[in-house]
Amino acid sequence: MGGTPPLPAHFLPFHLMEDLLAARLQMAFSLGFHIVFAVIGMAMPLLMAISHWKNLRTGQRVYLDLTKAWSRGVAIFFATGAVSGTALSFELGLLWPGFMLHAGPIIGMPFSWEGTAFFIEAIALGMFLYGWNRMGAWAHWGVGVLVGVSGVLSGIFVVCANAWMNSPAGFDWVNGQAVNVDPWAAMFNPAWKAQTLHMAISAFQATGFGVAGVHAFMLLRRPSAFHREAFKIALFVGAVAALIQPLSGDFLAKDTAVRQPIKLAAMEAHFETAARAPLMLGGIPDAATESVRYGIKVPGLLSILAHWDLNEPVKGLRDFPRDLWPPLKPVHFGFQIMVACGTAMAGIAALYLLFLAVPRLHRFVMHRRFLTLCALAAPLGFIAVEAGWTVTETGRQPWILYGVLKTADAVTPMPGLVVPFLVFTSVYLVLAVVVAWLLTRHIRNVERDYPSARGEA
């Protein structure tokens, strides 16, 4: 008894970090992990349906092999996404009871619709995987299309809920309570179109480039009809999405300028309200000195991108109280990374479509340098998705429900949140290793299981 004084609280494991920070990091890690499988689940079935359609139209074995190989990949990603998505739904209630108390009755509809779409997707995927030679060929293809449609709808419904967090609607906030609730107005809030469009296109862009990159790598090792056709299908889907994406990004940026001007200011590290506002390329923002080092300013371009008017002022961070500023570096860097990755993919996409459009350039599609470029570009779409979600979520801080409810007021009062953060992080890391092993094993077995991957007809 006596002698040795107790350790200060900050030396104890449960106080390694603040509970609010631990809760936010757990959600960030969970969402960052899940989003990869969500976007693949939205887009991969389209690739599968295209190859299946080509098989039914041409009768070529290579497309049948490709469809079966991709369907196995879809199954792996679907199972992992189901696990991580279920964990996320529990985390919302356990970590953020203050948010769910108010949000549940208002925004429950898109979550229930997402659950319905998820169940339809699960049933359709099971029918597709076990329906070979058990149903009509075109009916079987239709089931595969249903997998893709339900996957896209599932993603759209979830993004509708996130859009509501960025643009609250469908209720009146009176004395800390939501009244006059309108679930339809909440779901189809003013931001839902811009966010769902941008996210859906991102899914096809990331998945298209990711799958094309894997098959480009395999082509560099051993050319085959299987990987050649897979590469062409996937890259075409990714290329079309990459060239459309800047339009949806512009739409979302203009919506953000109106509804969340402080987020736009943080994205651009824009401190002072001004007409002919410059667009910032790169740079390291410093909130203390309200300056940006090493950035390149493009005069007037931010005003044009935000308002289509060179003389329209763009609000700067100085127009808002300091305690409402989001963390500048993560938001600014995330936006710059997203734009850089998107620009690189758009350049590759334009090059690919040029090769397809000009007959004398067709041979360059399978040129080793272009295949190498595509293989190196494989992760760019997923990096852009992660960076984009960092901007979306971090840029809304300190609000969990923009302008209505702060994140600090929504977190659970339960202490020691560092423990579930470490547990969930460990589980996700183990799950990532398992998925990587399964996919690597599947890719290695392609040549064993499918004749066209061995260079056979």
Answer whether residue 332 is part of any domain.
yes
More confident residue, 380 or 305: 380
Q: Which residues on neighbouring strands pair with residue 279, listed in sequence order? A: 298
pLDDT band for 134, please (50, 70, 90 cuts).
Answer: confident
The pLDDT value recorded for residue 273 is: 84
Which domain range does residue 91 map to? Answer: 17-454
- Does residue 6 lie within any of the structural domains? no
- Reading the block at residue 205, the tokens are 């862009």
pLDDT bin (cut points 50, 70, 90) of residue 407 is: confident
Does some domain include residue 65? yes
Task: Look at residue 3 and tell me if it is in a domain.
Answer: no
Domain count across the chain: 1
At 12-35, the pLDDT tens digits run 344 445 888 888 888 888 888 888
Distance CA 323, CA 329 (A): 16
- Please calculate the CA angle 42-43-45 and round it to the nearest 5 degrees: 95
Identify the pLDDT of residue 12: 37
Q: What is the pLDDT of residue 5?
A: 40
DSSP 19-81: HHHHHHHHHHHHHHHHHHHHHHHHHHHHHHHHHHHHHHHH--HHHHHHHHHHHHHHHHHHHHH
pLDDT at 419 over 80: yes
Q: Look up residue 42 and give its two tokens.
A: 């939205």
Residue 240 CB-density burial (10 A; 0-12 exposed, 13-18 middle, 19+ buried): middle
What phi and psi, each to the nearest 5 degrees, are found at residue 218? Answer: -65, -35
Q: Is residue 122 part of a domain?
A: yes
297 Cβ contact partners less than 8 Å away, ≥ 6 residues apart: 278, 279, 280, 281
Decide if 8 is inside a domain.
no
What CA–CA distance (Å, rounded) separates 397 from 407? Answer: 7
Q: How many CB atoms lie within 10 A of CB 5?
A: 6
9 domain residue, yes or no:
no
Cβ burial, residue 133 (10 Å; 0-12/13-18/19+): exposed
Residue 194 falls inside a structural domain: yes
Q: Output the six-digit token pair for 362.
A: 């067709």
Given a contact cutoff of 8 angstroms between Cβ atoms, the answer to whether 280 and 296 are in contact is: yes
Q: How confident is the model at residue 202 (pLDDT cuts 50, 70, 90)?
A: very high
